[in-house]
Structure 1
Amino acid sequence: MPKSATHVRFAVVGDIHVNKDSGGTLRGFFAQASEAADALLLCGDLTDYGTAEEAHILADELGAVSVPIIAVLGNHDYESGTPEVVVETLTRAGVRVLDGEACEIEGVGIAGIKGFAGGYGRGSLGAWGEPAIKMFVQEALHEAMKLESALAKLRMPRRIAMLHYSPIAGTIQGEPLEIFPFLGSSRLEEPLLRYPVDAVFHGHAHRGTLEGKTINGVPVFNVAKPLLTRSRPDRPPFLLYELPREPVEEAQGTLVATP
């Protein structure tokens, strides 16, 4: 697909789960995403166990990408206790890994965090009782504060947010109800209400729903690769989303049919 002179296109996907056997299996996929877009956004669970070996394999596979790559980590990238190794390896490969920071791609501002769990609405876990519960809730609040800080730095008219955990319950529908509290937190939605964006992307919920909306109507997309593969078998498993290059107030971002 030729690049657009009027729109900035983002290829977005999460939950790639690169493992020790992934070498040579993703270069074609990444090349296709790179060809279709102006930037590649990776929404966490980039590796399966967060090992140095997996990070190096992913970095090598990403060598097929010729556009900027922005990423956030997911829970799987923390499994080995050394997420900094994943970040360092990807950074050396030219990937910008966001963790409460913001960046800009062709006039579009991007805020990124991992996020955390805790539940939604009246079902949100409260910081009451045992210290372990309070620590759990504090982690969710800390991630929400990081997102707010990143969003507050964006001054451009077009803005998007990328996370791993979901900020709304709408895009995790389809997952077992019992695990909803572990798939995200409505605390992550609160900064998105104070600092509105054009679109939000997340992964994590492999059996969730492709699209939902925040309370104020911002589209939220679940871009977990297993979900995209299963839900759209006739398309490459990445979401192609575009925003106008010119900051036209009434224009909205749109999904693009991928080849």
Structure 2
Amino acid sequence: MAEETLTVAAIGDIHVGENSAHPYRELFHEIAGKADVLALCGDLTNHGKPREAEILAEDLRAIGIPVVAVLGNHDYECGLVEESQRILEQAGVRFVDGAPQEIRGVGFAGVKGFGGGFGSLMLDSFGESAIKQFVHESVSEAMRLESALRQLETERIFVLLHYAPIAATVVGEPTEIYPFLGSSRLAETIDRFETVRAVAHGHAHHGTFSGHTLRGTPVYNVAQTIPKEGGRPYALITV
């Protein structure tokens, strides 16, 4: 018996501001007619202010399809993460960071991720304590992703990130900032799980839409500024 496919609309970096007025209501209505699940890949708000979360929540309440999400670096700016997250959860958003979800036979897992660089240029934990702390954060995020993936028993998994797991999808950004856009440690974790069918991330606003991990898992940069099929700000990904 053929497995039922699931269409995920994935978008990142929507950056809702506190003076916005229903900025995504029409777009979310459009997505609800085309997808089974909406995946929000971080930087949901401009500065992590509860008022920004309230505005986004207003646009999400009537979407009518499941919404899964991870936070991005902008969502941490004001230090009010828990309050903003609670507001969005009350609107039906399921944050998968630390709480993987199963929707119609597909597992959803994710973390914010962090920087550190890619491949042979990945930053090592050596030298000053500030460098070691930076690398520790990158390693910690990868370990948290692995823990989430191990909790899922589904045969298909969709991974949400904010930071990029591969260099291919940040191409287009200045090479000098690659270490701050993502880390290969995330891809190394993903490649230990054959059940991961697709990965979506944001953060690299001027990057490249698609690439793949060393094992061949598709990776999509869904920052809303990245050109996608049909000129949409979101990607439709089938798993």
* Counterpart-to-counterpart distance in 1, 2:66 and 2:229: 26
Instruction: Give the corresponding residue for 2:105.
Output: 107
The answer (yes or no) to whether the contact 2:125–2:131 under 8 Å persists in 1 is yes
The answer (yes or no) to whether the contact 2:22–2:56 under 8 Å persists in 1 is no
* Counterpart-to-counterpart distance in 2, 1:6 and 1:147: 25
1:239 to 195, 215, 235: 235
Identity within the alignment, %: 50
* Counterpart-to-counterpart distance in 1, 2:151 and 2:118: 26
* Counterpart-to-counterpart distance in 2, 1:6 and 1:177: 40
The answer (yes or no) to whether the contact 1:101–1:113 under 8 Å persists in 2 is no
Which digits, 9 at most, give the CA deviation of each residue in 1:173-229, with x for residues without a partner? 0000000000000011111111131011000000000000000001000000011xx
1:87 to 76, 85, 96: 85
Distance 1:232 1:239, change over 3 A: closer
Instruction: Give the corresponding residue for 2:26.
Output: 28
SS for the counterpart of 1:240 is strand
TM-score when scaled to structure 2?
A: 0.95
Instruction: Give the corresponding residue for 2:204.
Output: 205
Q: Pairwise CA RMSD of aligned residues?
A: 1.3
Instruction: Give the corresponding residue for 1:130.
Output: 128
Which digits, 9 at most, give the CA deviation of each residue in 1:65-116, with x for residues without a partner? 1001000000000011121122111111111012133111110011111000
* Counterpart-to-counterpart distance in 2, 1:6 and 1:109: 13
* Counterpart-to-counterpart distance in 1, 2:28 and 2:18: 18
The answer (yes or no) to whether the contact 1:171–1:221 under 8 Å persists in 2 is yes
Distance 1:239 1:232, change over 3 A: closer
Which digits, 9 at most, give the CA deviation of each residue in 1:120-147, with x for residues without a partner? 1111111111111111100000000000
Q: Give the drift of 1:233.
A: 7.8
* Counterpart-to-counterpart distance in 2, 1:34 and 1:22: 21
* Counterpart-to-counterpart distance in 2, 1:46 and 1:17: 5
Instruction: Give the corresponding residue for 1:216.
Output: 215
Q: Give the drift of 1:158.
A: 1.0
The answer (yes or no) to whether the contact 2:169–2:207 under 8 Å persists in 1 is yes
The answer (yes or no) to whether the contact 1:44–1:71 under 8 Å persists in 2 is yes
SS for the counterpart of 1:139 is helix
The answer (yes or no) to whether the contact 2:228–2:234 under 8 Å persists in 1 is no
Q: Give the drift of 1:155.
A: 1.0
Runs of 4+ in 1 over 3 A off after TM superposition: 232-235
Instruction: Give the corresponding residue for 1:163.
Output: 161
Unaligned runs of 5+ in 1: 244-259
TM-score when scaled to structure 1?
A: 0.88
Q: Give the drift of 1:6.
A: 4.5
Structure 1, 213-222 or 78-87: larger mean CA deviation? 78-87
Give the aligned length.
Answer: 236
SS for the counterpart of 1:32 is helix
* Counterpart-to-counterpart distance in 2, 1:144 and 1:198: 18
2:38 to 27, 37, 40: 40
* Counterpart-to-counterpart distance in 1, 2:126 and 2:142: 19
* Counterpart-to-counterpart distance in 2, 1:182 and 1:104: 31
SS for the counterpart of 1:117 is coil
* Counterpart-to-counterpart distance in 2, 1:233 and 1:218: 20
SS for the counterpart of 2:166 is coil
Unaligned runs of 5+ in 2: none
